[in-house]
Amino acid sequence: MDDRPTDDRMYRALIDREAAFEGIFMVGVKTTGIFCRPTCSARKPKRENVEFFPTAREALSAGYRACQRCTPLEPGLKSQHKLVRKLMARVRSAPLDRITDADLRCESMDPSTVRRQFKASIGMTFQAYQRAERLGRAFRLLRSSTGSSLQAANEAGYDSISGFADAFTALFGIGPGQADQASTLSVGWIETPLGPMVSIAHDEGIVLLEFCDRRALEREVQRLRARFASTIVPTQHPHLDQLKNELAAYFAGDMLGFSTPLHMVGSAFQIDTWEQLRSIPPGQTRSYSEQAEAIGRPNAARAVGRANGENRIAILIPCHRVIGSNGALVGYGGGIWRKRWLLHHEVSHAGAPVSTTS
């Protein structure tokens, strides 16, 4: 199956600098003889002056030179994610070790690059992630019956109570002595064959599961923080552990259903719409009009489409199973190529044909 987007779609992605297309194609500019990444900040060429290549190797073989602005021969988005994963694992394994910009330079890592990649991947800088990880450990200790402020400060790697208190208050909005009154959401990182995903858990269930490159991710996270009046911290949570295991089984084709608890945040209409999505069996699809009829609102197909677009829990609330009335794959925030992949995957492992509506 060829999941490569059409040339017209890749050109739109180039014009809009869509990060989701990093690693999907390179673009050669005929008038300059240079090839670039999809997100290059250079002035965009006309449609007739470009051609597309799946990798840098093909672009080089066609006689194009690498752009000096976007450096397409340097490690791409997937490698950036690899660097983020490596540093996250290092912080988790030794949370008291403060990795400074000087430390990064000593290990041939550019601090500005690390900062940018962390910001793009998980919505915070590397230094902010380190602070959140340390303070998250301290927060868990404070919430336990045995934790004192002094123990928590030591656990978080702070030399003084006052420094710990200032950092804690800056992150959580409250002092350490009020920790038992605070509310947090736990955030995790999950690798998938379609790219890394960010997951956020409330004690009642998963509230967000999105691909890291989705444009609306930062806005969705901000809305959740406001909705729950909570800080989002990188901590372990049983819902996140269960979700990670079930997603691994899903992508391996071992199971297509999920039992991880969900906590859907939305209007009554949105929740009805999302619950209906969950009733669509793997390997099958519905049109927007069929979905509207199923919730008793036959004239609300457009509203159903908007509600699907506002779904924050990808895959588990399977908006990828909704298609156009003519069978076309439309309207998926993670990208049409991912929607096509998910449907093909489910058909392959469910043993049922994809249904379409003419």
Residue 339 to residue 319: CA distance in whole angstroms: 9
We report the CATH number of the domain holding residue 163 as: 1.10.10.60
Q: Is the pLDDT of residue 353 over 50?
A: no
Q: Considering all CA atoms of the chain, what is the largest pairwise distance in Å, rounded to the nearest integer?
A: 68
The span from the CA of 264 to the CA of 122, in Å, is 21
Whether 141 contacts 147, CB under 8 Å: yes
| Boundary-marking domain end, from 154, 174, 194 | 174
Query: Mean pLDDT of all residues in the chain?
Result: 82
Q: In this structure, which amino acid lies at residue 60?
A: L
Q: How far is CA 312 from the centre of its chain?
A: 10
Output the pLDDT for position 357.
Answer: 32
The residue that leads in pLDDT, 96 or 52, is 52
pLDDT of residue 260: 96
Final residue of a structural domain among 135, 151, 174 = 174
- Taking each helix axis as running N to C, give the angle between helix 111-122 and helix 77-93, from 0 to 180 degrees, rounded to the nearest 10: 90
Of residues 162 and 208, which shows the higher confidence score?
A: 208
Pairing of the two strands 65-66 and 34-36: parallel
> Where is the domain boundary, 197, 229, 244?
244
pLDDT at 293: 93
Would you say residue 338 has pLDDT above 60?
yes
pLDDT at 313 > cutoff 80: yes
In a domain, 55, yes or no: yes
Q: Is the pLDDT higher at 318 or at 331? A: 318
Residues written for the chain? 358
Residue 249 domain flag: no
d(CA 135, CA 145): 17
More confident residue, 66 or 307: 307
Is residue 144 a contact partner of residue 120, using CB atoms and an 8 Å limit?
A: no
In which domain, by residue range, is 55 found? Answer: 7-66
Please give the pLDDT value at position 158. 72
Q: Indicate which residue of 36, 40, 70, 319 is catalytic.
A: 319
Query: Got the DSSP string for 188-252?
Result: EEE--TT--EEEEEETTEEEEEEETT-TTHHHHHHHHHHHHT-EEE----HHHHHHHHHHHHHHH
**pLDDT tens digits, one per residue of 165-199:** 777 776 666 677 766 666 788 888 887 888 778 89
CA count, 13 A, side-chain hemisphere, 105: 5
CA distance 321 to 83: 33
Residue partners of 263: CB distance under 8 A and separation at least 6 = 202, 204, 205, 206, 207
- Is residue 180 assigned to a domain? no
pLDDT, tens digit, 9 for 90 and up, residues 119-163: 776 667 888 788 777 777 776 666 665 556 777 777 777 777 887
Report helix, strand or coil for 51: strand
Strand partners for 286: 322
Higher-confidence position of 96 and 115: 115
Name the more confident of 276 and 117: 276
* Alpha-carbon span 182 to 295, nearest angstrom: 37
- Mean pLDDT of all residues in 99-122: 85
Q: Name residue, tokens 């009642």.
A: 204
CA–CA separation, 18 and 338 (whole Å): 14
- pLDDT tens across 239-290, in order? 999 999 999 999 988 999 999 999 999 999 999 999 999 999 999 999 999 9
CATH number for the domain that contains residue 235: 3.30.160
Q: Where are the beta strands (DSSP E) in the chain?
A: 26-29, 34-36, 50-53, 65-66, 184-190, 197-202, 205-211, 231-233, 286-287, 322-323
Where on the phi/psi map is residue 33: left (φ > 0), alpha (ψ -120 to 50), or beta? left
Q: What CATH number is attached to the domain comprising 37?
A: 3.40.10.10
Tell me whether residue 95 is in a domain. Answer: yes
Find the mean pLDDT for residues 113-118.
Answer: 84
pTM of the model: 0.62
In the prediction, which pLDDT does 22 show? 80
> Is 319 a catalytic site residue?
yes
With beta carbons less than 8 A apart as the criterion, state whether 21 and 13 touch.
yes
Count up the domains in the chain and report the number: 4
Does the residue 356 lie in any domain?
Answer: no
d(CA 358, CA 355): 10
Question: CA–CA separation, 187 vs 192, rounded Å?
Answer: 16
Task: Say if residues 104 and 114 touch (Cβ distance below 8 Å).
Answer: yes
- Domain shared by 276 and 234, yes or no: no
In a domain, 1, yes or no: no
